[in-house]
Chain A
Amino acid sequence: MLIPCPVCGPRDSREFTCKGHAVTLARPQADAPPEAWDAYLHLRDNPAGPTRELWHHNAGCTAWLVVERNTVTHAVTGARLAGEVAAR
């Protein structure tokens, strides 16, 4: 699998580690109700199709990326810097 790192270009997936769904970037406010924190910490969809995940280019530029890929075809359709996604 190749991941198109915006910094390094297309790189082998072995240079990356995956941290699960990119919902991790949407951290609730500290005083959000427990239900919001429960959902943030524990509840994840298991889509058959497109998904957005956080990948860390730990053996490369150390950037965290939001990678869009398809869980059915394994096709990687895009990758953006997590910082850009979070700051939008």
Chain B
Amino acid sequence: MRIDTNWRGDPAERIVFTFNGQPIEGYRGDTVAAALLAKGIRLVGRSFKYHRPRGIFTAGSEEPNALVTIGSGADQMPNVRATLQEIHDGLEVRSQNHIGPLQRDLLAVNDLLHPFLGAGFYYKTFMWPRSFWERVYEPVIRRAAGLGALSHDHGGARSEKAFAHCDVLVIGAGITGIMAAYVAARAGADVLLVDENMSLHNRHRHFDDPIRDAQGITHFSPEDFAFFYLNALQAMPNVRIMTRTTVTGIYDGGSYGALERTGLHLSPDAHPDLPRETFWRIRARQTVLATGALERPIAFPNNDRPGIMMLSAFMRYVDGFGVLCGRTPSFFVTNDDAHRVIAGLIARPEIAQAIRRCTVIDPRPEARAQGDYRLIAGAEVIDTRGRHGLREITVRQGGSQQRIETDLLALSGGWNPTLHLTCHLGARPVWNAEAAMFVPAQDAVPGLHPAGACNGTLSTGGCLRDGHTTALRAIAVLGLADPGVPVPQAGEEAGNGVALWQVQAKGRAWLDLANDVTTKDVAQSAQEGFASVEHMKRYTTQGMAPDQGKSSNIGALAILADATGRSISATGTTTYRPPFVPLTMGALGAGGEGHGFAPERKMTSHAATVARGAPMIEAGLWYRPSYFPAPGETTWQQACDREVRMVRQSVGVVDVSSLGKIDIQGPDAGAFLDFVYTNTFSTLPVGRVRYGLMLREDGHVMDDGTTARLGPDHYVMTTTTAAAGQVMAHLELVAQGLRPDLDVRVISVTEQWAQMSVAGPLARSLLNGILDTPLDTAGFPFMACGAVRVHGIEARLFRVSFSGEQAFEVAVPARFGDALYRDLVARAEALGGGAYGLEALNVLRLEKGFLTHAEMHGRVTAYDLGLQGMMSPKKDYIGKPAAARPGLLEPGRERLVGLKPVDQGGILTAGARLFTKGDPHTRPHDQGYVTSVGSSATLGHMIGLGFLRHGPERMGEAITLVDHLRGIQTPCEVCAPVFFDQDGGRARG
């Protein structure tokens, strides 16, 4: 029921949402849980394994029970905590994990089978027959045990990623965090205060504990204190406050991950532009951790019914939402703080009016009532009744038992500091036996200062002092002066209770409500030998649900300690890992969908290429045309064959700008190139281009390419598209780190120059149409280079060929690339040629035996490629000593050969294995493999390159190509890797 208390909601803002299709009215600012409880709806879901009726247990992100699905279609989100999700108009909420209506779940039969479903039952029961696991058991189990489901619709749910930087990050805006933020802000630090909840200042202890200013004159209630300081913080320009934001993980160097529920509380129809969630990466120089503490439940038989919840949650529904969850409440508590809370509660007139009876059960015989309620001291709750919600509890006091009618049971077993984040870098929490709680280890995270309840300080006065002290520590590290903010004073009393992990009584007592793990399961785990806390966790699945055991981990390990006769500190905790709360993949991967997945590099000819209908294929991050379909062609092979014939017979144009281009300048540029290439470049005359081979230091081939000498101290290197980045980093390392004695500078100019290749017998005629000064054969021979003018633009011309034809590469500043490409293609078409794509380019290079990274795949040497002649004996270079190792010069290595089918129509496939004729096609007889194949339009059959043991010694031998994957066997002839124009006359023509 809704009561008129000091609730800060706005009764004027009514919201209607649906729960399982039924319209429910609430107010803006309500969570789903608060709105349901206000309407007396206690049953909100079914448990994971036994399908027991479950209700709302907490009021925060630690909720183990009340997981619901919101939205539908592409926007559907499963496993949303009803305790965090705020209602908005049109919100659809559905309960999870039941077949049929929530009240009459067909799978509730599982609960009757509980004697067979204990810890480890999957492992023991579903052992045989083995084949049943995948076909029968797993699908059945998945249907029976589980949570919400995704809709499988693509799209919807937009998320964003964002970055934030600050001097001091304060995590948690309770009184400790507010105090710390205020001190740091007054010192002038750039402060970021984040809190998980929609509103700030959510205390863990709900009783009136007045706060006095340092002089002791003014008294504030904790609310007024928070209000006052938050107002001051909001007015300061160096303070940012983020609500609905959970810090989910701590990473190295002051990095924090945080999930902001940016738009989940608003109707997506009314706010279409708002992301649902934002994943923040926060970089903080210093951090104050003020995450508070989670109240500790008590395990007793049938402690899982709807209507049983934590005392702090019960109070939060009263204070935060004006919702009273029961009119005949009972309380099972172990500490004096809880008595103060209850006394304060029933002293409020509106509460006293609303409740009919109030019973408090305390296991301590010496407990004293602190208000007008019935106390049963030295007693325990040993059972509960009520099928879909609590109706009655059984209390044992000494030797007698009594039943008490009640509609709500609130639990308080003390506090567990919320120290999860302090463990994310590997630290383990420390057991404080006196306070009976785990506290953060000293210096668990560099630059992170735990304060207040998360550090084991529970009193109001202690929290304020802690917040103040840690803030001073943080600002001292930052070199800021103490702003002299006085410390307010408040009560120093806290806790004073006993730890009661479980009540010894007959019946199943739940520890982990989310995964249906009982105290018996933990004891059984220990009995069956899974006595380490990590083994117990995996055997029972305790702590492995979406709540990660926030309310059950400590209790489970205490019971395990008891079962194994060890102390709690010797038992230890399991590892706390990020994320603190479940994260959606959509939030983590925000911005990474579709075009955001990877950068797309487009050449200047991209638009013209796409306009010609060329399908684009990815080459690393680059997009390059595959082929240019002509009218009447129905397959890519037809286009490819035509383009190959076109280049061999007239002229073709292809954009080669994606190849890496590296500008190398300096007096020692030649010596530098001599050191990175196997062959010599210092002797290359100005105006000439040379093919170069580059090794890694381990003696294997890194890359090849041509390098042109544009001036005495000026070279420009081209690399393959695939290796451009690697070669650039390599050259930088050599220049900076290995040869700092050389005066040389390198820089990538790949994107500064657009470079087009013009290839074919008519290449020169075409070029002469655009060059200001036409070329003749003698003036610009094969492997020449130099500056030219194209339509008045300064350009560079390189006479290099990757097709074996007469060919030129013309480079212009990138802004002229599009125009140059369109002009060249138009002129080529006028000469009977045109544009060609990568498929034709690949066949043309294969016919000439030119290499790509299919051949230079990282495991081959210059010797394997037949390029040992390029390894200069006269100088040192990268890879030289390692390449001289005898094993890399073995004739029996797999070495480059050409392959052609014995029958004209024989099919070659890349990746196929090679076998000596007559040998079995098994691994011990393997002779090599195929790296590249193509259908040669020029020769009329397929051709291939591959690596074969003793390759060059086996010319003319008939071998067998076997592709086990595609079921292909083709007799092949070993031949030289140059199939066409062996003497290279065409390129020189």
Contact = CB atoms under 8 A, between A and B. Distances in A.
Interface string A24-46: 11011011101001000100000
A46 to B, nearest CB: 18
Contacts of B698: 41
Interface in B714-740: 725, 729, 732-733, 736-738, 740
B697 A86 contact: no
A31 B881 CA distance: 8
B737 A54 contact: yes
A64 B881 CA distance: 24
A1 B253 CA distance: 5
B736 A74 contact: no
Interface residues of A, number: 32
Contact of A86 (B446, B725, B740, B876): B740
User: What is the interface residue range for chain B against chain A?
Assistant: 20 to 34
Contacts of B880: 30
Interface string B245-275: 0000001111100000000000000000000
A48 to B, nearest CB: 13
Contacts of A37: 881-882
Interface string A46-88: 0000000010101000111000000001111000011101110
Interface in B278-330: 283
Nearest to A58: B729
A78 B394 CA distance: 65
Contact of B697 (A13, A41, A58, A76): A41
B885 interface: yes
Contact of A19 (B252, B253, B733, B876): B733
B120 to A, nearest CB: 36
Given A17-B729, A30-B876, A30-B880, A82 B253 contact: no
A8 interface: no
Contact of A41 (B446, B736, B882): B882
A24 B737 contact: yes
A83 B736 contact: yes
A30 B736 contact: no
B280 to A, nearest CB: 14
A56 B733 contact: yes
Contacts of A1: 251-253, 255
Interface string B735-749: 011101100000000
Most buried by B among A28, A30, A54, A75: A30
A75 B732 contact: no
Contacts of B283: 2, 12
A84 B827 CA distance: 53
Contact of A30 (B254, B732, B733, B881): B881
A2 B284 CA distance: 11
Contacts of A58: 725, 729
B373 to A, nearest CB: 52
B348 to A, nearest CB: 51
Given A37-B882, A83-B737, A74 B729 contact: no
Contacts of B737: 24-25, 54, 64, 82-83, 85-86
Given A41-B882, A64-B737, A82-B737, A56 B253 contact: no
A2 B446 CA distance: 13
A21 B825 CA distance: 50
B164 to A, nearest CB: 13
B800 to A, nearest CB: 27
Contacts of B253: 1-2, 13, 74, 76
Contacts of B254: 2
A86 B283 CA distance: 33
A56 B255 CA distance: 21
Most buried by A among B446, B725, B736, B882: B736
21 contacts: A1-B252, A2-B283, A24-B733, A28-B881, A30-B880, A30-B881, A32-B881, A37-B882, A41-B698, A41-B882, A54-B737, A56-B729, A56-B732, A58-B725, A58-B729, A64-B736, A64-B737, A74-B252, A74-B253, A81-B736, A83-B737
Sorted nearest first, the 5 A-B pairs with minimum C-beta distance are A82-B737, A30-B876, A83-B736, A74-B252, A1-B252
Interface of B: 251-255, 283, 425, 446, 697-698, 725, 729, 732-733, 736-738, 740-741, 876, 880-882, 885
Interface of A: 1-2, 12-13, 17, 19, 24-25, 27-28, 30-32, 34, 37, 41, 54, 56, 58, 62-64, 73-76, 81-83, 85-87
